[in-house]
Amino acid sequence: MVFAISEEVQHKEGGQTMVVTGYASGMVECRWYDGYAVRREAFRSDELSHSTPSQQLAS
Protein backbone atom coordinates (compact mmCIF):
# COMPACT_ATOMS: atom_id res chain seq x y z
CA MET A 1 0.00 0.00 0.00
CA VAL A 2 1.27 3.48 -0.82
CA PHE A 3 0.87 6.36 1.62
CA ALA A 4 1.39 10.05 0.87
CA ILE A 5 3.63 12.24 3.01
CA SER A 6 1.51 13.92 5.75
CA GLU A 7 -1.23 11.28 5.42
CA GLU A 8 -2.69 9.99 8.68
CA VAL A 9 -2.28 6.25 9.21
CA GLN A 10 -2.72 3.73 11.99
CA HIS A 11 -1.04 0.42 12.78
CA LYS A 12 -3.35 -2.45 11.80
CA GLU A 13 -3.15 -3.82 15.35
CA GLY A 14 -4.39 -0.51 16.77
CA GLY A 15 -2.73 2.37 18.52
CA GLN A 16 -2.31 6.07 17.98
CA THR A 17 -3.02 7.89 14.74
CA MET A 18 0.34 8.70 13.11
CA VAL A 19 1.49 11.01 10.32
CA VAL A 20 3.64 9.69 7.48
CA THR A 21 6.84 11.76 7.35
CA GLY A 22 8.84 9.91 4.71
CA TYR A 23 10.27 6.70 3.32
CA ALA A 24 13.66 5.09 3.96
CA SER A 25 15.03 1.63 3.14
CA GLY A 26 11.59 0.47 2.00
CA MET A 27 10.00 1.46 5.31
CA VAL A 28 7.33 4.07 6.02
CA GLU A 29 8.53 6.63 8.58
CA CYS A 30 5.83 7.88 10.95
CA ARG A 31 5.57 10.37 13.81
CA TRP A 32 2.95 10.81 16.51
CA TYR A 33 2.47 12.47 19.88
CA ASP A 34 2.04 9.97 22.74
CA GLY A 35 0.91 12.50 25.35
CA TYR A 36 4.45 13.17 26.58
CA ALA A 37 6.70 13.50 23.54
CA VAL A 38 6.79 13.20 19.77
CA ARG A 39 7.63 9.61 18.88
CA ARG A 40 8.91 8.28 15.56
CA GLU A 41 9.28 4.85 14.10
CA ALA A 42 9.49 3.12 10.73
CA PHE A 43 7.00 0.43 9.70
CA ARG A 44 6.51 -1.87 6.73
CA SER A 45 3.68 -0.53 4.58
CA ASP A 46 1.69 -3.77 5.05
CA GLU A 47 1.58 -3.08 8.82
CA LEU A 48 -0.31 0.21 8.31
CA SER A 49 -3.77 1.22 7.19
CA HIS A 50 -5.35 4.52 6.27
CA SER A 51 -6.80 6.29 9.29
CA THR A 52 -10.54 6.95 9.33
CA PRO A 53 -12.36 9.69 11.31
CA SER A 54 -13.78 7.12 13.77
CA GLN A 55 -10.26 5.81 14.49
CA GLN A 56 -9.03 9.37 15.13
CA LEU A 57 -11.72 9.96 17.76
CA ALA A 58 -10.82 6.72 19.54
CA SER A 59 -7.10 7.60 19.78
Q: Are the CB atoms for 59 and 17 separated by under 8 Å?
A: yes
pLDDT 10s digits, 6-36: 999 999 998 899 999 999 988 999 999 999 9
Q: How confident is the model at residue 55 (pLDDT cuts 50, 70, 90)?
A: very low
**Which pLDDT tens digit goes with each residue over 33-47?**
999 999 999 999 999
The 27-33 sheet, strands edge to edge:
38-43, 27-33, 17-24, 8-11, 48-50
CB half-sphere exposure, 55, CA atoms < 13 A: 16
Tell me the pTM: 0.82
Residue spans of the domains in the chain: they are 8-58
